[in-house]
């Protein structure tokens, strides 16, 4: 027995030792993976391959691997617009890159300002006598806009193209909430502040219709002008306004219809497209599968071509996504986080500051927190500019008011100077189910807000007064910043949304230009010469481990562009409707304070339509209960 016991102890010890060794090896391998960096050694002569299956954003959001694993699907790819433009510009100058290849996946999107910036970089590649080739199964507005800058546009013979234009319907819940006996108490200032309309109306108000007819009309005209300038041969207006006729002329063949309209040049599958690229960029020396070609992916290319960091620093703080209270982000503009980033930069020797805004607004409290942090930099007597990207509306304009100069593009959506709050109460539903409230109060506001018993007139009056005072604060900040009278600010305010061109005419914007123009202006004000400064992006927290995790979960760049046909693209609209329902219910039932938010001009969503749809039933149940 003694011998057997010793053998057993030996076996257990070996087992424990091996378990420990394998555990250490696992964590060592995980650490090595997460601390590895894309290698510049992966750069080779050939094409720069940009497989765009995802969204172009101003600021990448961090990846939560556990959320991805529990969701059961890969996250949508995100592409930093500044990195894309920098990568394409470097490709134009580097002799190793023979061509730039765009491959669009089933999900691709970005605001018009971002796409214009990328398109301008592609034009610089072509000016350097290098071809740009594009491939997709289905082209839609965003990919059409970007592909219009290509030398050759290819499409799968079973694919097609859709030109949808801005606009469309959204859901209104006025009658539904009445049937559910939900009293959506709305407090607002702004005739055109339409963010609350879905909760109290069954259709768009005449004021909102007037506003968005003008806004979408301007954006549609700019989009068409951009595509026509890049691709004069396209029969854009006829194809967009009567697509069924073009499809019928092509015998129902959507790809041929797109070719006949001049939207694409050639029909071919991926193998045929790859062989064409190989004629220009060379064949892949290692991969001999049909349709392969020599290429370099985006991540190693950026590792080989980092952003410049010589000379004095001009800080760039990014305010991207909805502005919310707390530390949220990047990708969401947490007011405390951004204020802390700005305060930490006070100790740096920044020669100036550019505030890059791509936000539809949100929390007034968080917007003011960010504004105050920007003012602390202004107290240092350094030049400050705001660079508006796709959207700088409502709270996005609030945080722009400290700037010495505001830059925007004609396609920028801005304005929406207005305030609102929504508070649902359930006194009618409670009465129907035999639930009542009673108690002892010492003041008219004791126990308020009473969501079951309803709000007394004093509480309603207090809330409306509070919102009106918030609007007065907003008007005051804009008036002092733009040297306007309160009456003039109120005239261009009232929640009205403006395109960048009109915003410049009414005095909300100083001049046209992008981030580079804002940086150059700040450098000039700081008396810095060319080559004597660089942009330092503050609070850039998306590290290598996040990049590699996203790469593991989304896939290699060459394999990333998932395909979908025309029917599949239309089917995505179903999921977007569920996403809208989720967001609307969250806005109604969430614990949000006073809001300066532009509902119709919210930027492109960051996650896949499928993942957004998850949880909408739970939120509906939360509303009812």
Each residue of 510-542: pLDDT tens digit?
Answer: 999 999 999 999 999 999 998 899 999 998 655
pLDDT at site 146: 96
419-433, 536-550, 610-624: segment of lowest average pLDDT: 610-624
- What span, in angstroms and rounded, lies between the C-alpha atoms of 517 and 88? 18
- Across residues 267-296, what is the average pLDDT? 92
pLDDT > 80? residue 154: yes
pLDDT > 60? residue 507: yes
Catalytic residue among 98, 193, 259, 619: 193
As for how many domains the chain has, the answer is 1
In angstroms, how far is the first alpha carbon of the chain from the final one?
66
Residue 416 belongs to a domain: no
pLDDT > 70? residue 191: yes
- Across residues 169-193, what is the average pLDDT? 87
pLDDT at site 617: 45
Catalytic residue among 394, 416, 579, 611: 394
pLDDT at site 275: 96
- What span, in angstroms and rounded, lies between the C-alpha atoms of 323 and 367? 7
Residue 129 belongs to a domain: yes
Q: Identify whether 527 is a catalytic site residue.
A: no
Computed over every residue of the chain, the mean pLDDT equals 85
Phi, psi (deg, nearest 5) at residue 170: -135, 170
Q: Identify whether 348 is a catalytic site residue.
A: no
Find how far residue 366's CA is from the centre of its chain.
Answer: 19
CATH of the domain at 132: 3.90.226.10
Three-class SS of residue 380? coil
Q: Are strands 97-109 and 333-334 parallel, antiparallel or unpaired?
A: unpaired
Element (H or E) spanning 581, and its range? helix 566-589
Neighbours of 322 (CB within 10 A): 24
Which tens digits make up the pLDDT trace of 447-502?
A: 888 888 888 888 888 889 999 999 999 999 999 999 999 999 999 999 899 999 99
- Across residues 345-374, what is the average pLDDT? 95
Contact (Cβ atoms closer than 8 angstroms) between residue 172 and residue 203: yes
Contact (Cβ atoms closer than 8 angstroms) between residue 579 and residue 102: no
Residue 255 belongs to a domain: yes
Residue 191 belongs to a domain: no
Q: Under 8 Å CB-to-CB from 412, ≥6 apart: which residues?
A: 113, 388, 389, 390, 391, 392, 499, 500, 503, 509
Strands (E) across 162-306 are located at: 183-189, 266-267, 295-296
- 586 or 217: whose pLDDT is higher? 217
Contact (Cβ atoms closer than 8 angstroms) between residue 534 and residue 523: no
Residue 277 belongs to a domain: yes
* Beta bridge mates, 323: 333, 362
- 566 or 137: whose pLDDT is higher? 137
pLDDT > 90? residue 126: yes
Contact (Cβ atoms closer than 8 angstroms) between residue 318 and residue 57: no
Contact (Cβ atoms closer than 8 angstroms) between residue 414 and residue 396: yes
pLDDT > 70? residue 181: yes
The stretches of 331-456 forming alpha helices (DSSP H) are 335-344, 364-378, 395-398, 427-432
pLDDT > 50? residue 611: no
* Beta bridge mates, 337: none
- What span, in angstroms and rounded, lies between the C-alpha atoms of 238 and 249? 13
CA distances from 550 to 49, 110, 116 (A): 18, 19, 26
pLDDT at site 432: 86
pLDDT > 60? residue 338: yes
pLDDT > 50? residue 72: yes
Confidence of residue 170 (pLDDT cuts 50, 70, 90): confident
Confidence of residue 19 (pLDDT cuts 50, 70, 90): confident
Contact (Cβ atoms closer than 8 angstroms) between residue 506 and residue 325: no
pLDDT at site 1: 52
Largest CA distance in the chain: 98
Residue 246 belongs to a domain: yes
- Across residues 80-96, what is the average pLDDT? 96
Structure tokens at 21: 């060794």
The stretches of 242-363 forming alpha helices (DSSP H) are 243-249, 254-260, 270-281, 298-304, 335-344
Structure tokens at 458: 């004093």
pLDDT at site 562: 56
The stretches of 454-499 forming alpha helices (DSSP H) are 457-482, 486-492
Contact (Cβ atoms closer than 8 angstroms) between residue 425 and residue 455: yes
Residue 122 belongs to a domain: yes
pLDDT at site 151: 97
Domain of 90 in residue numbering reads as: 44-163+231-308
- Across residues 131-146, what is the average pLDDT? 95
pLDDT at site 367: 96
- Across residues 314-337, what is the average pLDDT? 92
CA contacts within 13 A on the Cβ side of 49: 26
Residue 151 belongs to a domain: yes
CA angle 132, 137, 141 (to 5 degrees): 75
- What is the Cα gyration radius of the chain? 27
Structure tokens at 465: 């007064």
Neighbours of 346 (CB within 10 A): 12
């Amino acid at each position: 027995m003694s011998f057997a016991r010793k053998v057993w102890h030996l076996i257990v010890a070996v087992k424990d030792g091996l378990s420990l060794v394998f555990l250490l090896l696992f964590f060592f391998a995980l650490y090595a993976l997460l601390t590895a960096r894309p290698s510049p050694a992966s750069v080779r002569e050939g094409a720069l391959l940009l497989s765009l299956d995802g969204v172009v954003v101003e600021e990448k959001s961090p990846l939560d691997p556990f959320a991805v694993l529990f969701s059961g699907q890969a996250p949508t790819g995100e592409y930093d617009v500044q990195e894309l433009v920098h990568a394409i510009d470097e490709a134009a100058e580097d002799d190793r890159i023979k061509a730039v290849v765009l491959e669009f996946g089933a999900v691709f999107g970005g605001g018009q300002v971002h796409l214009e910036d990328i398109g301008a970089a592609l034009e610089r590649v072509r000016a350097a006598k290098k071809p740009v080739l594009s491939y997709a199964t289905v082209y839609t507005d965003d990919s059409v806009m970007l592909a219009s800058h290509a030398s050759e546009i290819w499409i799968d013979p079973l694919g097609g193209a859709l030109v949808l234009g801005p606009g469309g319907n959204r859901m209104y819940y006025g009658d539904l909430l009445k049937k559910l006996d939900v009293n959506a108490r709305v407090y607002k200032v702004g005739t055109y502040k339409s963010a609350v309309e879905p909760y109290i109306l069954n259709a768009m108000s005449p004021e909102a219709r007037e506003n968005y007819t003008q806004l979408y009309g301007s954006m549609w005209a700019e989009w068409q002008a951009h595509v026509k300038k890049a691709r004069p041969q396209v029969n854009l207006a006829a194809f967009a306004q009567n697509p069924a006729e073009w499809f019928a002329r092509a015998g129902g063949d959507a790809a041929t219809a797109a070719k006949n309209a001049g939207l694409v040049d050639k029909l071919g599958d991926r193998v045929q497209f790859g062989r064409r690229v190989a004629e220009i960029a060379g064949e892949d020396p290692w991969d001999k599968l049909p349709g392969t070609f020599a290429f370099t992916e985006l991540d190693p290319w950026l590792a080989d071509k980092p952003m410049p960091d010589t000379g004095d620093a001009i800080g760039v703080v990014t305010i991207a996504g909805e502005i919310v209270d707390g530390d949220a982000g990047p990708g969401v503009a947490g007011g405390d986080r951004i204020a802390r980033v700005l305060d930490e930069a006070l100790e740096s020797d920044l020669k100036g500051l550019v505030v890059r805004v791509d936000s539809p607004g949100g929390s007034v409290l968080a917007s003011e927190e960010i504004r105050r942090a920007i003012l602390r930099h202004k107290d240092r007597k350094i030049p400050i500019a705001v660079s508006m990207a796709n959207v700088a509306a409502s709270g996005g304009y609030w945080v722009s008011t400290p700037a010495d100069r505001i830059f925007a593009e004609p396609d920028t959506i801005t304005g929406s100077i207005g305030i609102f709050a929504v508070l649902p109460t359930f006194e009618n539903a409670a009465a129907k189910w035999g639930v009542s409230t009673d108690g002892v109060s010492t003041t008219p506001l004791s126990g308020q807000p009473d969501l079951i018993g309803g709000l007394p007139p004093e509480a309603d009056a207090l809330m409306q007064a509070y919102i009106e005072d918030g609007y007065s604060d907003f008007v005051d900040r804009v008036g002092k910043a733009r040297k306007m009278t309160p009456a003039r600010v109120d005239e261009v305010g009232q929640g009205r949304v403006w395109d960048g061109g009109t915003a410049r005419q009414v005095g909300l914007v100083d001049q046209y230009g992008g981030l580079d123009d804002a940086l150059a202006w700040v450098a000039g004000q700081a008396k810095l010469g060319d080559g004597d400064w660089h942009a330092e992006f503050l609070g850039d927290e998306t590290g290598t481990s996040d990049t590699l995790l996203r790469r593991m979960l989304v896939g290699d760049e060459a394999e990333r562009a998932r395909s979908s046909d025309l029917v599949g693209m239309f089917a995505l609209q179903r999921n977007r409707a569920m996403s809208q329902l989720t967001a609307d219910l969250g806005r109604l039932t969430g614990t949000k304070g006073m809001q300066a938010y532009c509902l119709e001009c919210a930027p492109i969503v960051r996650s896949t339509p499928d993942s957004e749809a998850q949880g909408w039933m739970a939120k509906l149940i939360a509303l009812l209960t």
